Structure 1
Amino acid sequence: MTALQQHLPPILSLGTDYEPLAERFRPIFARIQAGALEREQTRSLPFEQVKWLKEAGFGAIRVPVEYGGAGASLPQLLQLLIELAEADSNLPQALRGHFAFVEDRLNAHASSPQDIWFKRFVEGELVGNAWTEVGAVKIGDVVTRVSRQGDQWVVNGTKYYSTGSIFADWIDVYAQRDDNGADVIAAVRVHQPGVKQSDDWDGFGQRTTGSGTSLFENALVEAENLIDFSTRFKYQTAFYQLVLLAVLTGAGRAAVHDITEQVRKRTRVFSTGNASEVSQDVQVQQVVGRASAQVYAAQATALRAASASQRAYESRFSQNAETEHTANIAAELESAQAQVVISDLVLRATSELFNALGASATSTSKALDRHWRNARTAASHNPLIYKERIIGDWEINGTEPPYVWQIGGGAKQL
C-alpha cells in the first residue's frame, strides 16, 4: 500500500487479486476469439459477444466491491482489456466509452453518491459514446444542443465516431445547453424513438467496433442525467488513450499468436532457407522472437502508464489539490509517452511478422493482415505527432499538457 492509499477512504477501487478476476472472463474471451476471424470476414457486429460480457459483469470491474463490482485497479482493467483485445481487438474499443463513463462516475463519487449509476453498471448496463460533431463545425463549437421542451429536456444533434453506442443502454453525449451555454454530458437512454444509430464506419481496420453515426431528434434526457462538463474527471484524455493502448497491445499479441501457429504448421520451405522445417529455421525464429519482445515491451509500457492514471484516480480523494494536479499531469504525459512507443512497436511487429512466412500468408481467408490494419487504425487516433510535440514542450518548457482536445474545421475550410 502506498503512502497516498493509507489516507484514502475505504470504498475505492484500489485493486483485487488479478488471476481469479481474469479466470472469470477467460472462458468468454476464448469463445470470442473463436469467432473473431468470421466476424472480420463478414463484418458482423459482436452483439452476442457484448451480451456475454455484460452478463458476466465485465462492465462493472472498476466498480468498488462494496457496490457489487470487482474493485479492480486501472492497471488490472488494462490487463483485462489487453487479454480481450488479443481475442478480438474490436471489443475493448467498443467498450471504451463505457469504461470512461464508469471512471467519471468513480471520480464523481468523491463529491456526491453514485449509488444509482454503480447499480446500473453492476446490473450490466453499458454506456456508449457520442462526442464528435459532423459537418463544418469550427474547433470549440458544439452544435448538439440540450433544450427545454415543455417540462422535459431534449437533445438534438448528430454525432460521428459514436463507438460502441450501438451495443449500449445509454449514450454519453457531449452537448451544450441552450439556456446558459454550458457544456454538458447528457446521459441519454438508447431505447427511445429519439435515438437513431447507424453502423456506417468505413475504416479499413477495427471494422466491428460499432462506430458510426448517432442521430438525436428530441431525445429525452432526465435533468439528473445532465452533467456539467467542467466536473469531468481530469485524466480523461489519458484514460481514453489507455484503452487504445490495450487495443494495440492485444492486436500485437494476437498477431504473434496467429503467425506462430502458421509457422508451426507450415510444411513448405524455401531452398534459400536454413532448415528442412520452417519451425526450425533460425531466421524465422528470430523474426518471431523479435516480435514477441516488441509486444512484451508494449504491454509493460501500457501497464506502467495505467499506474499513473490509477494514482490520478486515487489523488481525487486525497483532499490535496496540489497532489491531484501533479498526478493528472503525470497521467497525461505517461499515456502520451506510451502511445508514441507502443504504436511504433506494435506496427512494426504486426508487419515484420510476415517475414516469417511466404506469400500464402497474405491469403484473405487467413486475414492475418487484420492485426496490422487494426493496429494502424487504433494508432491513428489522437495523432501521435502532436503528442510527441506536447511531450517535448513539457520536457523543454514545462508547459502543462492539455486535458481536453477537439477536432473541427480550420479557418481555410470555413
Structure 2
Amino acid sequence: MTAQQQHLPPVLSTGTDYQALAEQFRPIFARIQAGALEREQSRSLPFEQVKWLKEAGFGAVRVPVEFGGAGASLPQLLHLLIELAEADSNLPQALRGHFAFVEDRLNAHASSPQDVWFKRFVGGDLVGNAWTEIGAVKLGQVITRVSRQGEQWVANGTKYYSTGSIFADWIDLYAQRDDNGADVIAAVNVHQPGVKQSDDWDGFGQRTTGSGTSVFENAVVEAENLIDFSTRFKYQTAFYQLVLLAVQTGAGRAAVQDFSEHVRQRTRVFSTGNASEVSQDVQVQQVIGKASAQVYAAEATTLRAAAASQRAYESRFGQDTEAEHTANILAELESAQAQAVVADLTLRATSDLFNALGASATSTGKALDRHWRNARTAASHNPLIYKERIIGDWEINGTEPPYVWQIGGGSKQR
C-alpha cells in the first residue's frame, strides 16, 4: 500500500437509513409520475424532471457522507431507482451513465483522492454516457480519438445510444489516444461548442431517455479528465445491468399500479365473468395478484444482485487481492443470473395484466402498453442468451465471466 493510499480516510458508502433517504425524493417521484403519461404520448424529454432530481441531490446519493453525499449502499441506490422507475422508467436509464461514472470515481478513491468529482456530484453535476459506435466499426475497434492540438487535448468522433447525455453536464466518453493507442475515458464538459447532441433514438420503448447521437468536434478535454480505461471499476458491466433490472422492475410495479386502478374504475362486465363488479371478480383478482408477486420477486432478485456488487465495491478498499477478484466474479455472475429471471418475470407481468381488462385496455389514450414496451426495451440490452451461456460455462467449467462487452462488425462485415 502506497503512502498516498495510507493517508486516504476510510470513507465508504455502506448505507444509510433507507426510509429517511427515500422520503427526501418520494414527493419528487410523485410529481414525475403525474406527467409520465403525457410525456410518453407527446415524446417530451424530461428536462424539468431531471432538474428536480439534480437540485434535490439525487445524483450524489452514493457519495460518502463525509463529502456531502448520502452514503447510500448499492442496494439502496437500486431500491431508489426502482421507485423512480415506477414513476417513470425512462429516468433511471437516463441516469445510468451518471451513476456508473460515480461508481468509478468511488472506486478510484481507493488509490487517489476524488474530492473534485465528489464536489461536482454534490453540486448537482450529472454525467452522461457515450461509448457505442456503429457503422463500419469492427468488433473491438474504437474510432473516436483523443489527440493533442497545440497545448490541449481534444476529442473527435461520433457516438450513438448516448443515453442521458442530453441532460448532462459531463460525458463519460470512451475513446482512444492518438499518441499511444491506449483506451481511455475522457470526461468531456458538454458546455462547449465542440459537443453536439441529438435526440434521435427511434426505439418503441424507453422513448424519453435522451438516448441519441453525440458528436465531438475538437471538444476540449482537460488533461486531468483523461482516465486510463484499464483502471475502470471491475464490476462495471454488472452495475450497468443492475440499473436495467431496476428499470424493468419499476416498469412492472407501474403496470400493476395502473392496471389495478383501471380494474377499480371499470363498470362494464362480461356475461362470462364471475361478479357484478370487475373489482370483485376472483379471476381478475388472480391476474393482478400473480403480476404483483412476479414483480415482487423481480425486485427481491435485483436487490440481492446489488448486494453482490456492494461487496465488490467494499473489497476494492481491502488489502486482499484474491478476495476482491472473487467479489468481482460474483458481482458479474449474480447480475447475469438476476437478468435471466427478472426479464422473464417483468415481461410476463406487463403482458398478462391485459387479461384483467377488455380490449379497451389497448387504447393508445391509456398507453398501458408502454410498461411492456419499456420493460422489453430494457431487457433487450446485453443479450440475455449470451448471459445465460456465460452462467452455464461458469457452473460447468468454472470459466470466469467477461467484464467488458463490445459490439461491432463481424467477419462478414463489408
Q: TM-score scaled to structure 2, two decimals?
A: 0.98
Structure 1 runs (4+) deviating above 3 angstroms are none
- Cα distance in 1 for partners of 2:14, 2:135 equals 42
How many residues are aligned here?
Answer: 407
Letter in 2 for 1:310: Q
Report what 1:165 is aligned to.
165
Unaligned runs of 5+ in 2: 1-7
- Cα distance in 2 for partners of 1:319, 1:163 equals 35
Report what 1:122 is aligned to.
122
Report what 2:5 is aligned to.
none
Given the alignment of the two structures, is residue 337 of structure 1 paired with residue 337 of structure 2, yes or no? yes
Given the alignment of the two structures, is residue 33 of structure 1 paired with residue 33 of structure 2, yes or no? yes
Report what 1:90 is aligned to.
90
1:170/1:189 contact within 8 Å kept: yes
- Cα distance in 2 for partners of 1:340, 1:190 equals 36
Report what 2:4 is aligned to.
none
1:152-204 superposed Cα distances (whole Å, 9 cap, x missing partner):
10000000000000000000000000000000000000010000000000000
Report what 1:250 is aligned to.
250
- Cα distance in 2 for partners of 1:178, 1:200 equals 29
1:140-161 superposed Cα distances (whole Å, 9 cap, x missing partner):
1000000000001000000000
1:9/1:317 contact within 8 Å kept: no
- Percent identity of equivalent pairs: 89
Q: How does 1:320-399 map to 2 (within 5 A)?
A: 320-399=320-399
- Cα distance in 1 for partners of 2:285, 2:188 equals 52
Q: How does 1:238-277 map to 2 (within 5 A)?
A: 238-277=238-277
- Cα distance in 1 for partners of 2:130, 2:411 equals 24
State the shift of 1:384 in Å.
0.3
State the shift of 1:10 in Å.
3.6
State the shift of 1:9 in Å.
6.1
Letter in 2 for 1:98: H
Letter in 2 for 1:59: G
Q: CA RMSD in A?
A: 0.7
Given the alignment of the two structures, is residue 151 of structure 1 paired with residue 151 of structure 2, yes or no? yes
Report what 1:205 is aligned to.
205
Report what 1:314 is aligned to.
314
Report what 1:99 is aligned to.
99
- Cα distance in 1 for partners of 2:314, 2:213 equals 35
State the shift of 1:134 in Å.
2.0
Report what 1:216 is aligned to.
216
- Cα distance in 2 for partners of 1:121, 1:136 equals 36
DSSP-derived class of the 1:187 partner: strand
DSSP-derived class of the 2:162 partner: coil
State the shift of 1:135 in Å.
1.1
State the shift of 1:263 in Å.
0.3
State the shift of 1:11 in Å.
1.1
- Cα distance in 1 for partners of 2:345, 2:329 equals 25
Q: How does 1:4-23 map to 2 (within 5 A)?
A: 10-23=10-23
1:257-296 superposed Cα distances (whole Å, 9 cap, x missing partner):
0000000100000000000000000000000000000000
- Cα distance in 1 for partners of 2:240, 2:395 equals 23
Unaligned runs of 5+ in 1: 1-7
State the shift of 1:124 in Å.
0.2
Report what 1:76 is aligned to.
76
Report what 2:405 is aligned to.
405
Report what 2:134 is aligned to.
134
- Cα distance in 1 for partners of 2:400, 2:215 equals 36
DSSP-derived class of the 1:287 partner: helix
- Cα distance in 1 for partners of 2:278, 2:150 equals 72
Letter in 1 for 2:225: N
Report what 2:289 is aligned to.
289
1:174/1:185 contact within 8 Å kept: yes
DSSP-derived class of the 2:365 partner: coil
